[in-house]
Chain A
Amino acid sequence: MQPVFSVRDVVYSYANTATPALDHVSLTIHAGQRVAIMGANGSGKSTLLRILDGLYFPQSGHVDAFGHTLDEHHLLDESFAHTFRRRVAFVFQNPDIQLFNPTVFDEVAFGPLQMRWDKETIINRVNATLDQLEISHLRDRAPHRLSGGEKKRVAIASVLVLDPEVILLDEPTAALDPRSQSRVVDFLVEWGNGKKTVIVATHDLDTLSEIADDAYIFQNGKIVAHDTPQALLANQQLLRDANLIHEHVHHHDGQVHAHPHIHFGHHHHDTQ
């Protein structure tokens, strides 16, 4: 079966930085997979997502999308770009970046307009997507006046309207209140019934097992581990080395003590 993405030995450096953001990274993602890209801030996970979306292009290495080379040259071809943008969607970490239209309706209609769908199809698809994300009541509101959770749902709606095959999400639950986080996680669990590909960059270990069935851990631009979420979460030394958990001092059962701070499941310790 042809992979959705094939990344081979990719190196990417930002201007004026000594260390590369991605350092000889290779991975393969197949259709229907739910993949988590984990790592501390600055580990390279957001850069990888931007490369997978054809927004950044590596200085060396090779990226294939749906069996075709994904590079600047191929994206200049209108037919290829049109098809690729239709099949791959990206939800940015900061929804304010993604919400640049005057109203929520216009925001969700932006993608279909670029695809030159006819007016009736656009209106029907936008309305259906607003219903799906339960944000129809926001349709005439200005996106910058919405709450963080509402903005995130509008950002997701703005890419789902194209019915993509792959969705890339950069820290989808960051800076959201618990209810909004739960809505996003529910969406990720339910979306596509296992037929769609979901790639999530996150350092939220709490929801990892729910949203992914395959996970990579990045550190300093390199892949340091690749396994199932359950196997990675069981390896506390690995998580500590990747700065995903840390020693945490707190009061508990009348004592002050320290232990690894980890946000999945329940922790137990001896109080004697």
Chain B
Amino acid sequence: MAGEAHHGKKRGTFVQRTIDGLAETMERSLYAEQLSEQAGVIQRLDPRVKFIGTLSIIMVAAAARNLTVIGAVAVVAIGLAALSHIPLKSFVNVWIGMAIFSGLIATPAIFITPGPTLVAIPVLEWVITSTGLRSAAFLLLRSEVSITLSFLLIMTTPWMHVLKSMRSIGIPALVVVILGMTYRYIFMMLQTARDMFEARQSRIVGRLDDADARRLATATVGVLLSKSMQLSNDVYLAMQSRGYRGDVYTLDTFQLGGRDIIAIIIISVIVVTGFVFGSGILG
């Protein structure tokens, strides 16, 4: 299914490119699931430990007022990725995307934050202050560390385990179940959309003009909406048939083992050390 996604040169209509993009999303999801099943250091841990640990370390990076501490957290994250058999190249797109996003937000701070002048730009008469540069570096590095840790969690944990772990921090069962079912059925609808598009594509000769392409896209969306309504109705009947009456019950089957206890201790040390050095308590 996902493995059949198109590769190579992208061409065709907006709809086809969109469907191809969705297929690639499915393929990436399958790749992430394969990585999460590998016997790496993080993969072996209880998902709750990973989920809460990731959140805690992200908070350390977010609260740190020391670039060295944030850099140290980044090094820890990259080291854990290597120990978990996650290829560093899979992080590259994420890093570039985050750098562009946070760079756009951070750039004005370089010029408008008051402080000692570092460089003056002639003609424009703009000045880059050392304080501004430092603020931008903090924003950029914190964002990159957060996205690296989040990505590491996703790549080493089946998404459904991540969702179930949310229960451990008190997110209501109903929210978790809705998220899980959305994830479950979105792939089915994506596959249906692709099948519909390919069935139409096989009966089209030449290239559609823009108006016809729009009509095709609108019709596809309409049929998909209708199918998703039918699907949701049938799923609800299937739930009712097995006794569902509106209340959500879940079974927590995770169990903490020896390595999870060790991981909790290590994460606790990282968090406490990070907060102590990052907050500047020690001067």
Interfacial residues, chain A to chain B (CB-CB below 8 A): 50, 53, 55, 78, 81-82, 85-86, 89-90, 92, 94, 96-98, 100-103, 105-106, 109-111, 113-116, 119, 122-123, 142-145, 158-159, 162
Residue of A97, A115, A142, A145 touching B238 (CB-CB under 8 A): A97
**Which of B113-121, B239-247, B265-273 sits within the interface?**
B239-247
**Which of B53-61, B177-185, B216-224 sits within the interface?**
B177-185
Q: Is the CB of B160 within 8 A of A85?
A: no
Closest partner residue, chain B, to A84 (CB atom): B243
From DSSP, what is the main secondary structure of chain B's interface residues?
helix
Interfacial residues, chain B to chain A (CB-CB below 8 A): 33, 158, 160-161, 163-164, 180-181, 184-185, 187-188, 231, 234-235, 237-245, 249-251, 253
Residue of A81, A82, A98, A101 touching B180 (CB-CB under 8 A): A101
Residue of A55, A86, A111 touching B237 (CB-CB under 8 A): A55
Q: Is the CB of A100 within 8 A of B245?
A: no
Q: Is the CB of B185 within 8 A of A100?
A: yes
Q: How far is the CA of A109 from the CA of B237 in the complex (A)?
A: 17
The count of A-to-B residue pairs whose CB atoms sit within 8 angstroms is 80
Residue of A55, A116, A142 touching B240 (CB-CB under 8 A): A55
Q: How far is the CA of A135 from the CA of B239 in the complex (A)?
A: 22
Residues of B within 8 A of A50 (CB): 237
Closest partner residue, chain A, to B243 (CB atom): A114
Q: Is the CB of A81 within 8 A of B245?
A: yes
Q: Is the CB of B242 within 8 A of A103?
A: no
Residues of A within 8 A of B249 (CB): 113-114, 116
Residue of A90, A105, A122, A143 touching B241 (CB-CB under 8 A): A90
Residue of B33, B231, B240, B253 touching A105 (CB-CB under 8 A): B253
Q: How far is the CA of A42 from the CA of B66 in the complex (A)?
A: 70
Residues of B within 8 A of A89 (CB): 241-242
Residues of A within 8 A of B241 (CB): 53, 55, 85, 89-90, 159
Q: Is the CB of B181 within 8 A of A158?
A: no
Q: Is the CB of B242 within 8 A of A158?
A: yes
Q: How far is the CA of A96 from the CA of B244 in the complex (A)?
A: 17
A-B contact pairs, 20 of them (CB 8 A): A53-B241, A55-B237, A81-B243, A85-B243, A92-B238, A101-B184, A102-B160, A103-B160, A106-B251, A110-B239, A111-B242, A115-B243, A122-B251, A123-B251, A142-B33, A142-B158, A142-B160, A142-B184, A144-B188, A158-B242
Closest partner residue, chain B, to A76 (CB atom): B245
Q: Is the CB of B160 within 8 A of A82?
A: no
Q: Is the CB of B160 within 8 A of A97?
A: no
